[in-house]
């Protein structure tokens, strides 16, 4: 009798141990399935601003790249999607999809327009000049980023952030080495809240530098954070005394008087209210020419 009770006790322990192990394996399997978050792909994931609303296509895949049918999820698009900015597209899985539950957010970006490089060559003195074509509507951007490097892939490039209103820049401290071929490209920057939204890069221009080796590039005078701050100030002051926007382009573009009209000065000139005329008007100011570096009226 004692032997039978002992055998029954041992059997119960073995069954209990096996059941616990099976339950543990089942938990691991369920955990693996829930952790494998599906992948949401947008086509396209970004586009260039053209004044039209854009609706990218949404496709969802499992972690092992198998397509998930649309009947298992619903897509919610934010309103608008035509102004420059970031838009969150939400993919929520339905109850009939057992492998995952919840919502995945993917960002769709409407980018500012891409400027074009005009010239990239040697200027007077020991400097190299960069010139680009002005965007027709600069009111939608805050500035530009220019890059130059000694390779087509732009590995380890030098980068210049410059406010809108300029079509060129030159310096004798760009870190250039005599006899080296350099490549240059540009993109525009829009500021939306605290986010910087970049255009696609322009096609690059190339040129071989001949001259004395330059000192290391110092990074320029403007930073991205400075551009954001300037944009906030510009937005705050871009209204007339009545509190309504003047509706006019606050940029004035004339030739530089210091270099006999061979270079352009493009600089944002603030409009101010004149108590004499009762109108918003441009204010004359002195600035450095972005091409020749001279100083003249605009």
Are 94 and 112 spatial neighbours (Cβ–Cβ below 8 Å)? no
Return d(Cα 23, Cα 15) in angstroms, integer: 12
The more confident residue out of 265 and 71 is: 71
Closest by alpha carbon to 106, among 134, 129, 73, 138? 73
> Does 132 map to a domain?
yes
Give me the pLDDT at residue 290, please: 53
Q: What is the mean pLDDT of residues 115-119?
A: 88
Please provide the average confidence, as pLDDT, over all residues in the chain. 74
Are 146 and 133 spatial neighbours (Cβ–Cβ below 8 Å)? no
Three-class SS state of 109: strand
Instruction: Give the DSSP letter of residue 65.
Output: S
Return d(Cα 275, Cα 97) in angstroms, integer: 68
Burial class for 204, CB neighbours closer than 10 Å (0-12, 13-18, 19+)? middle
Q: Which pairing describes strands 103-111 and 85-93: parallel, antiparallel, or unpaired?
A: antiparallel
Are residues 216 and 129 part of one domain? yes
Are residues 222 and 166 part of one domain? yes
Q: How many domains does the chain have?
A: 3
- Comparing 29-43, 215-229, 257-271, which segment has the lowest mean pLDDT? 257-271
Per-residue pLDDT of 262-283, as tens digits, reads 444 444 444 444 444 444 443 4
Sheet holding 128-133, edge to edge: 116-122, 128-133, 168-171
Return d(Cα 202, Cα 130) in angstroms, integer: 13
Give me the pLDDT at residue 96, please: 84
User: Which residue in the block uniquely carries the two structure tokens 């298992």?
Assistant: 72
- Omega of the bond leading into 44 within 30 degrees of 0 (cis): yes
> Does 7 map to a domain?
no
- Comparing 137-151, 179-193, 278-292, which segment has the lowest mean pLDDT? 278-292
Q: What's 173's domain CATH number? A: 2.60.40.10
The more confident residue out of 85 and 215 is: 85
Are 246 and 271 spatial neighbours (Cβ–Cβ below 8 Å)? yes
Domain boundary pick from 52, 80, 111: 111
> Does 21 map to a domain?
no
Are residues 48 and 96 part of one domain? yes
- From its phi and psi, is residue 6 left (phi > 0), alpha (psi between -120 and 50) or beta? alpha
The more confident residue out of 41 and 18 is: 41
> Does 19 map to a domain?
no
pLDDT over 50 (residue 26): no
pLDDT over 90 (residue 72): yes
Are residues 125 and 214 part of one domain? yes
Are residues 277 and 249 part of one domain? yes
* Residue 112 pLDDT class (50, 70, 90 cuts): very high
Are residues 271 and 223 part of one domain? no
What is the domain range of residue 54? 39-111
Closest by alpha carbon to 256, among 265, 247, 248? 265
How large is the greatest C-alpha to C-alpha distance in the chain, in angstroms? 118
């Amino acid at each position: 009798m004692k032997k039978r009770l002992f055998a029954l006790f041992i059997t119960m322990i073995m069954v209990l141990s096996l059941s616990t192990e099976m339950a543990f394996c089942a938990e691991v399997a369920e955990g693996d399935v829930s952790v494998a978050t599906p992948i949401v792909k947008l086509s396209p994931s970004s586009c260039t601003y053209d004044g039209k609303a854009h609706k990218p296509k949404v496709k969802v895949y499992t972690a092992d790249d198998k397509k998930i049918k649309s009947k298992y999820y619903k897509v919610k698009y934010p309103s608008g999607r035509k102004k420059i900015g970031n838009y969150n597209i939400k993919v929520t899985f339905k109850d009939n999809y057992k492998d995952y539950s919840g919502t995945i957010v993917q960002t769709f970006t409407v980018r500012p327009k891409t400027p074009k490089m005009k010239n990239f060559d040697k200027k007077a003195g020991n400097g190299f000049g960069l010139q680009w074509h002005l965007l027709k509507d600069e009111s939608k951007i805050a500035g530009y980023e220019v890059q130059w490097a000694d390779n087509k892939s732009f590995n380890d490039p030098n980068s210049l952030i410059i406010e809108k209103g300029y079509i060129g820049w030159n310096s004798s401290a760009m870190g250039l080495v005599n006899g080296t071929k350099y490549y240059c490209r540009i993109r525009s920057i829009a500021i939306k809240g605290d986010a910087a939204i970049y255009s696609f890069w322009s096609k690059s221009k190339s040129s071989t530098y001949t001259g004395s080796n330059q000192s290391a590039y110092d990074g320029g005078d403007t930073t991205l954070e400075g551009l954001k701050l300037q944009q906030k100030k510009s937005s705050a002051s871009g209204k007339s005394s009545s509190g309504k926007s003047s509706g006019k382009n606050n940029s004035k573009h004339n030739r530089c008087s210091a270099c006999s009209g061979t270079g352009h000065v493009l600089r944002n000139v603030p409009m101010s209210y004149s108590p004499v005329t009762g109108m918003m008007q441009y204010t004359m100011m002195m600035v450095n020419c972005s091409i020749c570096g001279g100083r003249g009226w605009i």
